[in-house]
């Protein structure tokens, strides 16, 4: 091998080594960048978790304030800025602001439930069929109330021999197990905002939303909004005043009177804690029964615009 050949081989070897070094540097750079990116992502997730935890703590602060029997709706203590980016906002209402679904599943009040379904855009026939499907779920017998409702035979045919449960509802989640549940979800995706299984079974005209008031009583939504506007500055003092604002009179008003109340006895608290971009909502039902406050239900709920992990 000549000297020229040796020089050529040396240059070729140096080039290969240099290329290998460059590849190694590129791989190491990639690994470093990836590690930094993962570390940043992990750090961001940790900060997000801390933010959500802090938002939950703030929401719990609001619940603790609202649970005190001396605190009334609208009290300034229900809204507090803990710092420039931390706060809680709490609303005191009553569980009677919603319709007790078990209380509606009776022969006497089933027309009210049908009226609610019709207000959601269902036909009268569908409203009656779905309402009686709920009745068949809770009554003690296995007899269908209507051809389009569902009893044991229909559920068994669908592969659910243990349905219906033939007892009062213990949770609103049971509606998801019922026949025709998809029709309810389609007609009113937020149907849970209308119903409860707690409270005394009456509807509180001083805390119910305009939509719930209109749906339950058959009044127009516009009249429901007028009632809500009227009570904004001062609670309604009589059911007669409430019915007049809803535009209801005569026999219809007389029939509705027993299901309405001016003061629901079951306190409901909804508290939203905010920590930076993180938000957390907590809904609590509180019973007092003349003694110390007792939490009957505690549930977190999604808040629009809240950060999710």
CA contacts within 13 A on the Cβ side of 100 = 21
Q: Report d(CA 269, CA 264) in Å as an integer.
A: 13
Q: pLDDT tens digits for 218-270?
A: 999 999 999 999 998 899 999 999 999 999 999 989 999 999 999 999 999 99
What SS3 state is found at 308? coil
Token pair, residue 152, equals 């044991």
- Per-residue pLDDT at 91: 93
Q: Which two tokens stand for residue 287?
A: 């019973």
Q: How far from 114 is each of 97, 127, 184, 188, CA to CA, in Å?
A: 19, 5, 12, 14
| Domain coordinates in residue numbering, the chain | 1-97+265-309, 98-261
- pTM for the structure as a whole: 0.77
Express each pLDDT in 77-133 by its tens digit.
999 999 989 999 999 999 999 999 999 999 999 999 999 999 999 999 999 999 999
């Amino acid at each position: 091998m000549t000297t020229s050949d040796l020089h050529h081989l040396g240059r070729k070897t140096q080039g290969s080594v240099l290329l290998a070094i460059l590849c190694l540097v590129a791989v190491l750079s990639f690994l470093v960048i990836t590690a930094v990116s993962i570390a940043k992502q992990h750090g961001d997730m940790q900060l997000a978790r801390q933010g959500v935890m802090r938002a939950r703590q703030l929401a719990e602060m609001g619940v603790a304030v609202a649970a005190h029997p001396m605190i009334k709706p609208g009290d300034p203590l229900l809204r507090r800025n803990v710092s420039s980016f931390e706060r809680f906002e709490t609303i005191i209402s009553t569980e009677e602001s919603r319709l007790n679904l078990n209380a509606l599943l009776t022969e006497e009040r089933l027309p009210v439930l049908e009226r609610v379904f019709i207000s959601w855009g269902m036909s009268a026939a569908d409203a009656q069929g779905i309402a009686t499907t709920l009745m068949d779920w809770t009554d003690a017998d296995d007899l269908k109330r209507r051809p389009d409702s569902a009893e044991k035979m229909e559920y068994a045919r669908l592969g659910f021999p243990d349905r219906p449960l033939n007892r009062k509802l213990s949770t609103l989640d049971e509606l998801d197990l019922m026949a025709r549940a998809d029709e309810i979800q389609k007609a009113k995706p937020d149907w849970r905002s209308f119903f409860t299984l707690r409270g005394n079974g009456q509807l509180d005209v001083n805390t119910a939303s305009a939509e719930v008031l209109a749906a339950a009583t058959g009044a127009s939504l516009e009249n429901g909004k007028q009632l809500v506007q009227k009570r904004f500055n001062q609670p309604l003092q009589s059911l007669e005043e409430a019915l007049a604002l809803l535009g209801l009179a005569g026999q219809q008003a007389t029939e509705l009177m027993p299901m309405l109340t001016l003061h629901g006895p079951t306190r409901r608290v909804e508290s939203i804690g905010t920590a930076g971009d993180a938000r957390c909502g907590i809904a609590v039902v509180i019973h007092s029964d003349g003694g110390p406050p007792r939490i009957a239900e505690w549930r977190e709920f999604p808040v629009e615009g809240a950060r999710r992990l």
